[in-house]
Chain A
Amino acid sequence: MKKKFDFLFAGVGGQGTILASNIVSEVGVRCGYDVKKSEVHGMSQRGGAVESHVRWAERVYSPLIEEGTADFLLGFEMLESARWPHYLAPGSLVLVNNHRVMPPSVNLGQEQYPTEKEIESILTAAGAEVLWVEGAAKADELGNQALAGVVLLGVLSTKLTEPAEVWEQAVADLVPAKFKELNIQAFRAGREMAEK
């Protein structure tokens, strides 16, 4: 187990970014990696941007990923996905939830929300591959917007070799008990999307 995996999560307060990053940390621990995770919360409840770093390796020192070395970026919101290209390693993979949350300056008509094309070119310029995920649409179908993040995790799990059962168990253990079934469904939907 020599390899290291650095995961960056980006979203907007209230989207479940922190929960998803907790699940990825837990999967790492259960698979025997040294794991560290870092995030800053505080004002995020007030609709601000949320960013979280998760690192798996044989030995992890820094809880923060170094610029230019992230292997995966999970973007829970389109604009937020494009904020961190300087963190991406060449050949990294970005999963973008196809969902927009307008920042105040866009609401007030002072700034433009970037187009899909612009977002994609910011990320590919950093040498990353971009995968658009219909997480929000799937979550709506399942009846709860908050599930989009777990759909993304389903997709992510297919890009790694850790067993699906470990992922499912971590999801089941970390989400609120009454939403367990729905979250498992969302996770499986993500896996199906990726395998199609």
Chain B
Amino acid sequence: MKKIMTGNEAFAYGAYLAGIDVAAAYPGTPSTEILENLSKYPGVYTEWTTNEKVALDVGAGAAYAGGRALVTMKHVGMNVAADSLFYLSHTGMKGGLVIINADDPAMHSSQNEQDNRQYARFAKLPMLEPSDSEEAKKSVRTALEISESFDTPVIIRTTTRLSHSLSIVETEAEPAPKVKSEPAAYERNPTKYVMMPASARKRHPVMEERLIRLAEFAETSALNRIEPGDDEIGIIASGVVYQYAKEVFPNATYLKLGMVYPLPAGLIRELAGRVKQVVVIEELDPFIEEQVRILGIPARGKDIFPIVGEFNPGLIRRCARSAGLLPRPTGQAPAVTAPQLPARPPMLCPGCGHRAVFYALQRLNAAVFGDIGCYALGGTPPLNAMHAQGCMGASIGLVHGIDLVGVKDRTVGVIGDSTFFHSGLAPLINLRYNNGTSTVIVLDNRVPAMTGHQPNPSTGNTLMGVEAPVVKIDELARGAGLTKVDVVNPYDFKHVMDTIKDHIKSNEPSLIVAQYPCVLYKRERNQPMTVDVEKCNECGNCLRIGCSPITKIEGGVTINSGLCIGCGFCATICNQGAISLPAQEGVTA
């Protein structure tokens, strides 16, 4: 039967068909839906781990025990997991281990752009790259087979455009239900699994030899194929870029790569022998192009196509025309250009508990060092209350370093609950241990909101719907030796202001947990707020909190009743009492 699926749905379906036993991941766009979908299939254990490195170690353990494991992450998650990736490349595993890595060219929802094909070469691991949902489905089984026969973790690379595009998948017969067997004894083999210099030195040559065998496999595997066409140009492409290229060059000769590392040198030479020139079309780095050139083949690539951002058929066509690979259009109407229209940037939601904290920080004119999550939106206008933001877990180390040098400003680090569990604890312990004096605010909305409310250690349940203990961030901080720790409700605004001032003034490391559940997760609504325009003196305070239902009108403001959820924060900060609280209780002015 034909079914239309996203790339991520197809990966999950493929993992189910391939008999994955354990799947672990930390959420991250565009990879998140793989585990969300896989958790709905029977016979697979799935878990959200606290970060990507933990996920990879869990997957490694499952594979060491002889199971079939899947680990998924977004591109920057691989940076976090990289340490584990390298030991795993050395040890191999008893069972199978597949890592699905999702790159995000153009940074649709990421803080930096990077080409994780480099990790395959760096860690000397095979990497597959499917180009549509059907291939995505099949890739998990193929990757497992390679993993088990070559004793290596296998990376499958996807990109946003593959993960979030739908295409047709053939459904397959249900896999036979798994039979629970008696656990086997743990296979003890220290020279293979205990990576101390003496044993690791023995493993490195094994990896090199494995790569040679994998390159031989790449020559004959059905993953890579030559598609004969005309002899003008031979295109090397993989992933969704292959699909764009097929639209623009329907008649060219292709080397379609389903495995992007190690490369099949023989097939590349064969392609070069068939055509007048070889063109590599690849997003981001010249990863394939450079390796083709090392073979002595004068391939073109980044001299034609950009090294930054995402491709699309139009872009490939324009570049190809400029480079003379395609004829220039003659006598056509000038191309229509995109009009200049007001942008629609993402904003903190109406009723978001993060807003009050950022408004307080704006009022205190604090220099704010942030982290990754919805709260990064506290840095957008009109709040503008974020002054550095790099990667997950960076905030606490950053503010400590800034305080060591010292700046005139009041300084704070802000971090979300999921980010705190991901990588906030180590820098907090460091702050305490080294007698730092910085103030940290944890914006605890009980979930990673940015990635769509996956359960985490502060939610009270797991991905598989099992009840779980709530890990309390204030207790963790006290356990680390901090004595100045407070929990506040962001809607108790005066208390928030007083507490932040008090913490910034103090000379000890301190932590404030601003706790209020994400409104999109909680889905509660009060009556919408109303404005008495008579009382409004047009001071503009309510417009500075960046809440989308509040609109400026002649002589005052109005509040869109369809969008307002009645949190009442605007009423709290209105000096004229022009905005009235809804009839219900729930908010302290």
> Hey, which bits of chain A sit against chain B, CB under 8 A?
12, 22, 25-26, 29, 34-49, 60-64, 66-68, 79-80, 82-86, 88, 90, 102-109, 111-114, 122, 125-126, 145
Closest to A109 in B: B552
Interface size on B, residues (CB 8 A): 53
| A contact residues around B377 at 8 Å (CB) | 46
Least distance between B253 CB and chain A CB atoms (Å): 16
Contact indicator B342/A29 (Cβ below 8 Å): no
Least distance between B110 CB and chain A CB atoms (Å): 9
Residue from A79, A107, A145 within 8 A of B341 (CB atoms):
A79
| B contact residues around A105 at 8 Å (CB) | 342-343
Least distance between B535 CB and chain A CB atoms (Å): 20
Least distance between B155 CB and chain A CB atoms (Å): 22
Contact indicator B338/A62 (Cβ below 8 Å): no
Closest to A34 in B: B168
> Hey, which bits of chain B sit against chain A, CB under 8 A?
2-4, 29-30, 108-109, 132, 160-161, 164-168, 240, 243-244, 246-247, 312-314, 317, 333, 335-339, 341-349, 374, 377, 381-382, 450, 452, 520, 543, 546, 548, 550-552, 562
| A contact residues around B312 at 8 Å (CB) | 62, 64, 66
| B contact residues around A86 at 8 Å (CB) | 335-338
Contact indicator A82/B246 (Cβ below 8 Å): no
Residue from A47, A66, A113 within 8 A of B313 (CB atoms):
A66
Least distance between A46 CB and chain B CB atoms (Å): 4
Most-contacted residue by chain A among B161, B336, B381, B550 (CB, 10 A): B336
Contact indicator B167/A63 (Cβ below 8 Å): yes
Least distance between A13 CB and chain B CB atoms (Å): 8
A37-B4 in contact given A25-B166, A61-B243 (Cβ < 8 Å): yes
Residue from B160, B247, B349, B381 within 8 A of A46 (CB atoms):
B349
Residue from B165, B337, B348, B543 within 8 A of A38 (CB atoms):
B165
Closest to A41 in B: B164
Closest to B166 in A: A37
Contact indicator A62/B382 (Cβ below 8 Å): no
| B contact residues around A126 at 8 Å (CB) | 336
Contact indicator B313/A104 (Cβ below 8 Å): no
A42-B548 in contact given A67-B314, A68-B336 (Cβ < 8 Å): no
Contact indicator A42/B336 (Cβ below 8 Å): no
| A contact residues around B161 at 8 Å (CB) | 38, 63-64
Closest to B562 in A: A145
Top 4 A-B residue pairs of the complex, sorted by shortest distance between their CB atoms:
A42-B109, A46-B346, A63-B165, A61-B246
Residue from B30, B243, B335, B349 within 8 A of A47 (CB atoms):
B349
Can you report 5 residue pairs joining A to B where beta carbons are below 8 Å apart?
A: A43-B450, A45-B520, A62-B243, A62-B312, A112-B342
| B contact residues around A36 at 8 Å (CB) | 132, 165-167
Contact indicator B382/A48 (Cβ below 8 Å): no
Least distance between A125 CB and chain B CB atoms (Å): 7
Contact indicator A25/B4 (Cβ below 8 Å): yes
Residue from A42, A103, A112, A122 within 8 A of B339 (CB atoms):
A122
Least distance between B249 CB and chain A CB atoms (Å): 11
16 additional contacts (CB under 8 A) given A29-B4, A43-B108, A103-B344: A25-B166, A37-B165, A40-B160, A45-B452, A61-B244, A63-B132, A63-B166, A64-B161, A66-B314, A102-B548, A102-B551, A105-B343, A106-B342, A106-B551, A107-B551, A126-B336
What is the CA–CA distance of A90 and B333 in the complex, to the nearest angstrom?
10
Contact indicator B313/A12 (Cβ below 8 Å): no
Residue from B167, B339, B548 within 8 A of A104 (CB atoms):
B548
Contact indicator B313/A63 (Cβ below 8 Å): no
Contact indicator B345/A48 (Cβ below 8 Å): yes
Least distance between B299 CB and chain A CB atoms (Å): 22
Contact indicator A48/B339 (Cβ below 8 Å): no
What is the CA–CA distance of A182 and B198 in the complex, to the nearest angstrom?
70
| A contact residues around B333 at 8 Å (CB) | 90
What is the CA–CA distance of A37 and B165 in the complex, to the nearest angstrom?
5
| A contact residues around B132 at 8 Å (CB) | 36, 63
Contact indicator B345/A104 (Cβ below 8 Å): yes
A46-B336 in contact given A35-B4, A106-B342, A108-B552 (Cβ < 8 Å): no
| A contact residues around B344 at 8 Å (CB) | 12, 47-49, 79-80, 103-104
Most-contacted residue by chain B among A43, A47, A64, A114 (CB, 10 A): A64
Contact indicator A38/B164 (Cβ below 8 Å): yes
Contact indicator B2/A29 (Cβ below 8 Å): yes
Least distance between A135 CB and chain B CB atoms (Å): 15
What is the CA–CA distance of A145 and B560 in the complex, to the nearest angstrom?
14
Contact indicator A63/B243 (Cβ below 8 Å): yes
Contact indicator B546/A125 (Cβ below 8 Å): no
| B contact residues around A45 at 8 Å (CB) | 349, 452, 520
Least distance between A116 CB and chain B CB atoms (Å): 14
Residue from A40, A67, A109, A113 within 8 A of B164 (CB atoms):
A40
| A contact residues around B336 at 8 Å (CB) | 68, 85-86, 88, 125-126
Closest to B6 in A: A37
What is the CA–CA distance of A178 and B382 in the complex, to the nearest angstrom?
40
Least distance between A48 CB and chain B CB atoms (Å): 4
What is the CA–CA distance of A125 and B339 in the complex, to the nearest angstrom?
11
A42-B165 in contact given A61-B244, A61-B246 (Cβ < 8 Å): no
What is the CA–CA distance of A106 and B548 in the complex, to the nearest angstrom?
10
Most-contacted residue by chain B among A36, A113, A122 (CB, 10 A): A36
Closest to B317 in A: A66
Residue from A37, A47, A80 within 8 A of B548 (CB atoms):
A47
| B contact residues around A25 at 8 Å (CB) | 4, 166
